[in-house]
Structure 1
Amino acid sequence: MRAGDALMVPKLDRLARSVPDARDIGDSLVARSGRLSLGGSLYALADPRSKMFFSILATFAEFEVDLLRLRTRERMAVARAKGKLKGKQLKLTARQQAHLVEQHATGEHSIADLAELFSIRQATVHRVMERPTAATPPGTSA
């Protein structure tokens, strides 16, 4: 920014994640003799009233973000309790995983071959192989 330029932001929560971040950005604007255009209103943060108003807005923006996080966590807990939030579904069923482990144990197939055979990425093959249940193929004892 050059002196006299204005930083244009549609909403304060798009400018900073917390009050300290907003204050740092505000201090940087003051040091560069810049102004802040927030939602169409222009503020010169060197002015004490504008600085106070900016701090209040930053506090409310941080409060809104915190409330949103809290509500999201609460909704996720309710969904998890109802059994509707199970996380990402596995690419392979337990049977397919066991078959993959068996194929790997024979030594006939490389990781790349197994990935192509099961239509998955090599990283997925590695994850299946690293799982504790994958260490011993079904039907064998440890």
Structure 2
Amino acid sequence: MTGTNRSRPGLDQALAAVRAGDTLVVPKLDRLARSVPDARDIGDTLVDRGIRLSLGGSIYDPADPMSKMFFNMLAVFAEFEADLLKMRTREGMAIARSKGRLKGKQPKLSVRQQAELVRMHASGEYSIADLMEVFTVGRATVYRVLDRVKAQQSA
């Protein structure tokens, strides 16, 4: 799961497992949250529940102005790093796409196999399950091919 998604199973389990008086140890703030609002929300929730937060060996104390400032600075840098990563990924994908290297997931069936699947289905002799077995693909692939051909014929 991506770090930018707040509903991550590991995070949810960790937050559910800690109780009042416990300390949640996080090596770096960007492992906990990738945005300032998320970090503040998680930090405030932990404090409200009586749970201490250890960031890289330092205990976050919301009553201490220096600790609060340090926490917020870490959150700003975590969000900045996440945004840089997104930007670089998009740029890399755009370059790869322009060079013809990023084509997405290739179809499981060749054009010829798709045509044969459609022909066999149109004959009425083969059920969807039969076509799945003959072409060793899933039900969704069979329906996708049939839907694609239907769309092309109606256009």
Tell me the residue number matched to 2:5: none
- Alignment of 1:135 onto 2:135: no
Q: Report the RMSD for the aligned CA atoms in angstroms.
A: 2.0
Choose from 55, 60, 68 the match for 1:38.
55
AA at the equivalent of 1:94: V
TM-score, length of structure 2 as denominator length:
0.81
1:5, distance to aligned residue in structure 2 (A): 1.9
**Percent of pairs with identical residues:** 69
CA distances 1:75-120 after superposition (whole Å, capped 9, x unpaired): 0000000000010011001111011000000110000100100011
Deviation larger for 97-106 or 14-23? 14-23
- Alignment of 1:92 onto 2:116: no
1:72, distance to aligned residue in structure 2 (A): 0.3
CA distances 1:46-89 after superposition (whole Å, capped 9, x unpaired): 32221111011001100000000000000000000000001001
Contact 1:36 1:45 in 2 (8 A): no
Choose from 66, 70, 75 the match for 2:87.
70
Q: Which runs of 5+ in 2 are unaligned?
A: 1-17
Tell me the residue number matched to 1:49: 66
1:34, distance to aligned residue in structure 2 (A): 2.4
Query: Following the alignment from structure 2 to structure 1, what is the Cα–Cα distance between the partners of residues 39 and 52?
Result: 13
Structure with the greater alpha carbon radius of gyration: 1
Tell me the residue number matched to 1:105: 122
Tell me the residue number matched to 2:76: 59
Tell me the residue number matched to 2:4: none
Q: Which runs of 5+ in 1 are unaligned?
A: none
TM-score, length of structure 1 as denominator length:
0.88
Query: Following the alignment from structure 1 to structure 2, what is the Cα–Cα distance between the partners of residues 136 and 16?
Result: 43
Tell me the residue number matched to 1:27: 44
